[in-house]
Structure 1
Amino acid sequence: MRKQREEEVFRITGARQSLADDVRGRQRRYVISMLIRTLSVLLTVVLWNVQRPLAIGTLVIGALLPYVAVVIANAGRENAPSLPSSFIDPPVRPAIGPGESVPEPRHGRPGDSTADRG
């Protein structure tokens, strides 16, 4: 059997992100935030006897980041972007009732009228 190449897929303007892409993005954000938490805890250990206020700050970040990471990872899927309206207004027709006729334009010079000729 041949290996099928993964073809590039183009996003449709109004479509949501696929569920697999959404889960992959959530996992990526969670892993990145946990890496930041790990670094902050390690910085706390390294800085504890050198810069105690900075070490306390990194400890607070390390303590709060798991909560924030879980909230971000469990956030709902994105809202579908609003689609452009496909409704087209019907053409406006002139309101002429039955039996009415449209007056024809008069030909002649400006200022001429049939009342002046008589």
Structure 2
Amino acid sequence: MRRTGPGRPGVVRITGARTGLTEDVKGRQRRYMISMAVRTVCVVLAVVLWHESRIAAIVALVGGTVIPYFAVIVANGGREGAPGLPDTFVGAQPRTMLPPGPSEPVEGTIVPPRQGD
């Protein structure tokens, strides 16, 4: 997938197709790795802050123990649903080329009978 940059227009999706499986797995792996990095920071902070502020160290330790649970749930959450189709833009409609027909039948034309007749 191309990246957009200055002077490049953004990519417009015109279908309701989901992202590819490879991209989905990469995104979930990236989220999991970020959450594990945050967990590591919490555990290191708990060790460093243990003698300075026990309350902050305990909060960091709780964060370090709770984050993996939610990271696994998010990583194994499955694929996202198919996105909705884009809204269509209906601009000004072109004018009709023919004028409306006569309200009364023209002489010599065959008019089909009405259902009530």
Tell me the percent identity.
50
Alignment pair present for 1:30 and 2:32: yes
Q: Aligned partners of 1:102 and 1:53: how far apart in 2?
A: 87
Where 2:19 maps in the other structure, the secondary structure is coil
Give the corresponding residue for 2:44.
42
Where structure 2 has 5 or more consecutive residues not aligned to the other structure, the ranges are 4-10, 89-101, 106-117
Unaligned runs of 5+ in 1: 1-6, 87-100, 105-118
Residue aligned with 2:84, SS: coil
* Count of equivalent residues: 84
**Residue identity in the other structure for 2:73:** V
After TM superposition, the score normalised by the length of structure 2 is 0.63
What is the distance in 2 between the residues matched to 1:58 and 1:84? 43
RMSD, aligned α-carbons: 2.5
Cα drift, residue 15 of structure 1: 1.8
Q: Which aligned segments of 4 or more residues in structure 1 are displaced greater than 4 angstroms?
A: none
Normalising by structure 1, what TM-score?
0.62
Q: Which structure's CA Rg is the greater one?
A: 1
